[in-house]
Amino acid sequence: MAEACITFSDLTLGYNNHPAVHHLTGTVAKGSLTAIVGANGSGKSTLMKGIVGVLKPIAGHVSVKSGNRIAYLPQQSELDRSFPARVVDLVSLGLWPQRGLLGRHRKEDGEAVSRALVAVGLEGFEKRPLDTLSGGQLQRALFARVLVQDADLILLDEPFNAIDMKTLSDLIALIKRWHQESRTILVVAHDFDLVREHFPEALLLARQPIAWGDARKTLAPENLLRARQFHEAWDESAPWCGPDATHDHAGGEHHHHHDEHHASNAIRQGAA
Amino acid sequence: MEAVYQWLLAPFLDFAFMQRALSGSLLLSLASCPVGVFLMLRRMSLTGDAMAHGILPGAAAGFLLFGLQIVPMTIGGLIAGMVVALGSGAVARFTVQKEDASMAAFYLISLAVGVLIVSLRGSSVDLMHVLFGTVLALNDAALTLIGLITVVTLISLAIFWRALVAECMDPLFLRSVSKLGTPVHFIFLALVVLNLVGGFQALGTLLSVGLMMLPAAAARFWTVRVEPMCLLATVIGMASCVSGLLLSYHFSLPSGPAIILSAGVVYIASILVGSRGVLGTRNRPSRHRTA
């Protein structure tokens, strides 16, 4: 078993007491490349926020092995595109982990930024104001920032949305390069074919983990069918989840469910 | 030559009160114009306005207890401003309510308290004094205070520059790499209060926000980078102070409004002729490049 980079122990994340990620247990191995898949509202982005630490768990723990630098590309970037800045200024934000608040930006930092821009195909865009970029160009610039961050753990939340084929294949190539450099990468994606083709591992979420392990096995039809059967809406009268509620008749079925998921999860991980 | 001298230099060379007014307002521009640029970029332009009202009860309490004296009024204003800034900032950060609503609530409460306090003792003349300031009557204590505020502001901006830019440009990114996001927001709000308090000696609570926002808003029409924008705003602020004081001297106008109106003229001119202004962007170029 490879060294763990992220460990989830009975992790529940959510909003207003309603779980969005429910009882997730398992580890993400160091150097692994995992796709996180599932329907809208199945908890993919929430899981990412939990790993970064932007969202605190309702129950359980998530721990990232110390010494791992995290780079996080959120689905809904809070980037203010009207901010008066150039592409280099945006990408240079990625120097924060190395230089922090007061560290001087050195010559090699500038070179790292230039290399990153070349790597994402944005050579010659250095001085362009942010508000003149197209959606795909902005996404490339954000990838360049992730490159500059030089992180050990890279979290990409739906990086392939609204992107043309050329940009897509460039971004996939970058992800593969990171994988070869044995960085740990988690990517939220919706395109199953793309996941089967490019990702060794996958985690299928439907609030509870449905399957986790080898990407092709995880995306098998019976798992996808089960993933589709979850109710996205919150139930205000849903029973409380926890040891006190186990004997509650109404909660019986609910618990039955995730015991089953725990079991299947364990099996599939063993198989992977 | 003689006329130019008489018009532009003589007022400042001949009169000590004009020199004080000039140095006070220039120092103030140096600090509050860059702060105004960030207020504008964070879409908090009206926050400065609200905060300026929020200062009133503290200044009024100082006035009630010690009369028309700079130091107690300033300290009072500082306390009231901090309560409004930190209170509304905390509500916005930690509850579902956004900053515009919480700020409005806090400053309205504060303003009502302020008017109440002023009415306990003063006539409406006193209220006018608190609201509109007296740049032509800056004493040593007031100048020292403005100087201190300028130094503190510039040092803080220099230290937290990178975090402030990151927090404005991409707050979620800053949160993912550092825990500085929330502290830097509050430090920034504190700087806003500090500069408004510094300004209210000279311009009054209502107009001090003008020297903060108008140069920043004007500079937005000229540049696409934040560093030159701050420099340009400062230059516009300083020029407005010189021009406002001269107009005030030659035409016996109240100095505060004269300064703010000078900045207002620059703002309106910038809307029209700035490189990113109306004429610059509306005018269709007759030619375009192939790529």
Work out the average pLDDT over A241-246: 60
Looking at residues A17-30, what average pLDDT do you find? 88
User: Is it the case that residue A264 has pLDDT exceeding 70?
Assistant: no
Residue B223's nearest CA partner among A84, A264, A71 is A84
**What pLDDT sits at residue A67?**
83
pLDDT at position B125: 62
Give the phi and the psi of residue A83 in degrees, each rounded to 5: -65, 135
Q: SS3 of B171, please?
A: helix
Helical packing angle, B45-54 and B99-121, nearest 10°: 30
Beta bridge partners of A130: none
| pLDDT at residue A122 is higher than 80 | yes
**The pLDDT of residue B132:** 67
3-state secondary structure of B98: coil
Tell me: pLDDT of A249 over 90.
Answer: no
On the question of pLDDT at A211 being above 60, the answer is yes
| Closest chain A C-alpha to B239 CA, distance in angstroms | 23
Q: What are phi and psi of B290, to 5 degrees?
A: -80, -25
pLDDT confidence tier of residue A238, bands split at 50, 70 and 90: confident
Alpha helices (H) along B203-288:
205-219, 226-251, 255-273, 278-282
Length of chain A as a residue count: 272
Give the closest-approach CA distance of B133 to chain A in angstroms. Answer: 34
State the pLDDT at residue A248. 43
Tokens coding A259: 């015991």
Closest chain B residue to A49 measured between Cα atoms?
B176
Q: Is the pLDDT of residue A245 over 60?
A: no
Report the alpha-carbon distance of residue B150 to residue B14 in Å, rounded: 26
Q: Does A90 sit within 8 Å of B169, measured CB to CB?
A: yes
Q: Does B168 touch chain A (CB under 8 A)?
A: yes
CB B46, CB B107: distance < 8 Å: no
Contact assignment for B169 to A52 by CB distance below 8 Å: no
CB contact under 8 A, A84 and B180: no
Chain B: nearest CA to A129, how far in angstroms? 7
Shortest alpha-carbon distance between residue A44 and chain B (Å) = 17
Verify whether the Cβ–Cβ distance B225 to A93 is below 8 Å. no
Joined together, the tokens standing for residue A202 give: 């996958």
Q: What pLDDT score was predicted for residue A181? A: 92
Report how many Cβ contacts below 8 Å link chain A to chain B: 69
Q: Which of B41, B162, B220 sits opposite A101 (nearest CB)?
A: B162
In this complex, the residue of A96, A102, A129 whose CB is nearest that of residue B178 is: A96
Q: Distance between CA A108 and CA A110 in Å, rounded?
A: 5
From A247, A210, A267, select the one nearest A42 (Cα to Cα): A210
In terms of DSSP bridges, do strands A70-73 and A59-64 run parallel, antiparallel, or are they unpaired? Answer: unpaired
CB A64 within 8 Å of CB A51: yes
Sign of CA dihedral A149, A155, A157, A163: positive
- Percentage of chain B surpassing pLDDT 70? 91
Cα separation, A32 vs B55, in Å, equals 55
- The closest CB to that of A93, out of B160, B170, B224, belongs to B170
Q: What is the mean pLDDT of chain A?
A: 83
Model pLDDT for residues B199-237, shown as the tens digit of each residue:
876 677 667 888 999 999 999 999 989 999 999 999 999
Interface check B45 vs A, CB under 8 A? no
What pLDDT sits at residue A15?
87
CA B102, CA B109: separation in Å to the nearest integer? Answer: 11
Most confidently predicted of A165-169, B162-166, B281-285: B162-166
Mean pLDDT calculated for residue range A54-59: 88
Task: Return d(Cα B78, Cα B197) in angstroms, integer.
Answer: 6
User: If you average pLDDT over residues A8-36, what whole number do you get?
Assistant: 89
**pLDDT for residue B77:** 86
d(CA B194, CA B78): 7
Angle between helices B205-219 and B181-202 (to 10 degrees): 120
Residue B224 sits at the chain A interface (C-beta within 8 Å): yes
Nearest-CB residue to A84 (from B160, B170, B225): B225
- Percent over 70 (pLDDT), chain A: 88
CA distance A41 to A44: 8
Chain-chain contact of A93 with B159 (C-beta, under 8 angstroms): no
Residue B48 has pLDDT above 90, yes or no: no
SS3 label, residue B285: coil
B165 lies within 8 A of chain A by CB: yes
pLDDT tens digits along B66-107: 876 777 878 888 899 889 888 888 898 888 888 888 888 998
Nearest-Cα distance to chain A for B9, in Å, is 37
Of B160, B169, B176, the CB nearest to A85: B169
- Which of B41, B161, B170 would best serve as a mutation to test chain A binding (most A beta carbons within 10 A)? B170
Inform me whether the C-beta atom of residue B41 falls under 8 Å from chain A C-beta atoms. yes
- For residue A203, pLDDT over 90 is answered with yes
Average pLDDT over residues A204-224: 89
Q: How high is the pLDDT of residue B131?
A: 64
Q: Which residues of A touch B (CB under 8 A)?
A: 52, 54, 70-72, 74, 77-80, 83-86, 89-90, 93, 96-97, 100-102, 129, 145, 149
Reported ipTM: 0.81
CB A193 within 8 A of CB A165: no
DSSP E strand boundaries for chain A: 4-15, 18-29, 33-37, 59-64, 70-73, 153-157, 184-188, 201-206, 208-214
From chain A, the residues in CB contact with B178 under 8 A are 96, 100-101
Determine, for residues B159 and A100 on separate chains, whether the beta-carbon distance falls below 8 Å.
no
DSSP string, A64-123: EPTT--EEEE-SS----TTSS-BHHHHHHGGGHHHHTTTPPP-HHHHHHHHHHHHHTT-T
Q: Which residue of B has its CA nearest to A103?
A: B162
Which of the pair, B190 or B291, is modelled with greater confidence?
B190
| Residue A4 β-bridge partners | A29
Cβ burial of A271 (10 Å; 0-12, 13-18, 19+) is exposed
B118-161 pLDDT tens trace: 777 766 566 666 666 666 667 788 888 889 999 999 999 999 99
> pLDDT digits over B5-38, tens only?
888 888 888 888 888 889 989 999 999 999 999 9
Q: Do B160 and A54 touch (CB under 8 A)?
A: no
Determine how β-strand A208-214 pairs with β-strand A201-206.
antiparallel
Query: Would the pLDDT of A139 be above 80?
Result: yes
- Whether the Cβ atoms of residue A189 and residue A195 lie closer than 8 Å to each other: yes
Query: At which residue do the structure tokens 């930024």 appear?
Result: A113
